[in-house]
Amino acid sequence: MELAARGLLFDMDGVLVSSAASAERAWAVWAAEYGVDFEAVLAVMHGRRSQDTAARFLPAERVAEAVARIDKIELDDAAGVPEVPGAGALLRSLPRSVWAVVTSAPVELAHTRIRAAGLPDPPKLVTAADVTRGKPAPDPYLAGAQALGLAASDTIVFEDAEPGVASGHAAGARVVGVGPHALSADVVVPDLLRVTYANGMLRMSSH
């Protein structure tokens, strides 16, 4: 399949780095410390900012402290996080003017996971602190497109989680789902091994 696009916007966790196991370990520790049902956390944590997840389970006056705590736990568990297959090769093949990373993670965790996976530092990075509303609101991908000097409709978003797919669509972008959990994306691929981009054309195969 081929899609024309002037810019590519990549979610990080589950799209560029395989961090689900690390994140789930961290949130399990956090849930135990704060007396929260981990299964309930697990049902909503993927693809969302930590402050949005914490706010679902704790009173407002405890959220800032709880977010600082989960950020530290996740950082302590970030070493050795691998890349999603094909991510490094794809990113290194791209002109740096055409891509950005748009993540719900805080900036330090984003840089730590990207470097742990051996990926190139992104030319543009939108993190949890850069938007008022996180995914599934359109704000993150609108900010990512703006960072590239493009309209969101001129970009393709890569996402692995439904909040991110909804965010990309709400911004007006087309969305490529990566992995098994982004079923409402416009097209879904298992990983980035069969994805290439050249001369404004994204080419991908699910086989």
Indicate whether 126 pLDDT > 70.
yes
Region of 21 (left: φ > 0; alpha: ψ -120 to 50; beta: rest) is alpha
pLDDT tens digit sequence for 53-86: 999 999 999 999 999 999 999 999 888 899 999 9
pLDDT tens digit sequence for 37-47: 999 999 998 88
Looking at residue 207, its pLDDT comes to 55
Residues catalogued as catalytic: 11, 13
pLDDT tens digit sequence for 18-36: 998 898 999 999 999 999 9
Q: Report strand pairing: 2-4 vs 201-204.
A: antiparallel
Q: Which domains does the chain have, with CATH numbers?
A: 2-19+82-204 (3.40.50.1000), 20-76 (no CATH)
Q: Where are the beta strands (DSSP E) in 22-154?
A: 99-102, 125-126
Looking at residue 38, its pLDDT comes to 95
pLDDT confidence band for 205 (50 / 70 / 90): confident
Nearest to 176 by CA among 161, 157, 194: 157
Instruction: Specify the pTM.
Output: 0.90
